Structure 1
């Protein structure tokens, strides 16, 4: 049974008004094919079946009517059927279906479009003065999809990178580590020692920065060692897909400036900060 939506706007591509609707049943007319109409640069027609396989329902089909198509043609189209409610002034619309039309299957439709009982009940507003109005929208789906091929390489390598950053109080606003290798990929550490990367002067920011071009799934932990008490060491865990367009990930509010600047807290000792980056490269996606 068709799932319906309701809207005020009429169908965009085709409408048909059937007058003397009762004549169809009176004379046992089982099928009616509409004239051709154009949608999406193709010719179509609607086919209504009034006494089909499911005789308690009226079926509504869409058929390709274009005869100038090349051999082995294929057209994908989103198809909606409409029925006008002459009391409310609204249109019932079937839930759109994307259908594939080809030489071996040039007609698709809805076998249980609407029940004869519901359609024929005057209080429902679909048949007034023995006439009713149907409609259709056909939106051709252009084959312009971007195709991505991915080869997932199971790397699953671990790497531990230790950094001893001296002269911490003299670092520039943005400090970049030397390049290092992990999991067959190249990385750097980005550190904002005086304010976070968003420009707020309350926290230090730390990021792992990827220098490659592939997509790399990585789990990593950034540790700032507490040189007085290892239990107070700051550790943050991350999981991220790195790529050329998403090359850095970390924590913009890693540690507040008041804490890291306090010589009694143990994060900066003799103007030296100790970082440890634990990297687990899970997989590399080779995209083509």
Structure 2
């Protein structure tokens, strides 16, 4: 379906969202495409799966945003295409005017939630009166529950040898289409310095050929109890930026608790478990 659409609409970018029902389950209000090139400019598509502002709860809202200045008048059309039948839903053609700053154009009430759920649609934008690409471009966004390698544990042997005043990171590991590290500050970070053991999840680069785009993750950071398995853990939810970014807890646990049953024979185990993660691939 996506490949056929790209071949027939060479001045378009399509944004396929899989597992649409999971967006509601996890309360995700907005999904953004990666940055794509069309009509000589850079853009993103923003989709509000449960509607935005006045359309909340009744419609899907879709918007187009320029990432750099637009110096010409461009004609475009936002659309959704049924994946079950030959059905194209769109608004009338519109124009993206010259604008030196990032701006947003689109529709709050693009398509009803009932219609979207009934047919399953491919979302996208098509430009007119420009040189065609060969073919059009497309990406697929998915939410994955308990992804492959969703539990990772870092064994910090000879913990006493780690410089307490510096930040330390685990080896890099891959979950979804992104590379990650666990990051710790043994004597605390920022306002928790000399008070807490700070733990963070660090989003790094991406696997080969994956779009560099925001990544959604629900996760648990934990320090393992090596005696009774009553682990210390904190849950987090974050949209990680395409650039390296950390999310976690400066006050993960008081320094006074950093002893048995967590620190045993100079070994400490720090881990992360991903409940759900987003992936984006070209398709």
TM-score (norm 1): 0.45
Structure number, greater radius of gyration: 1
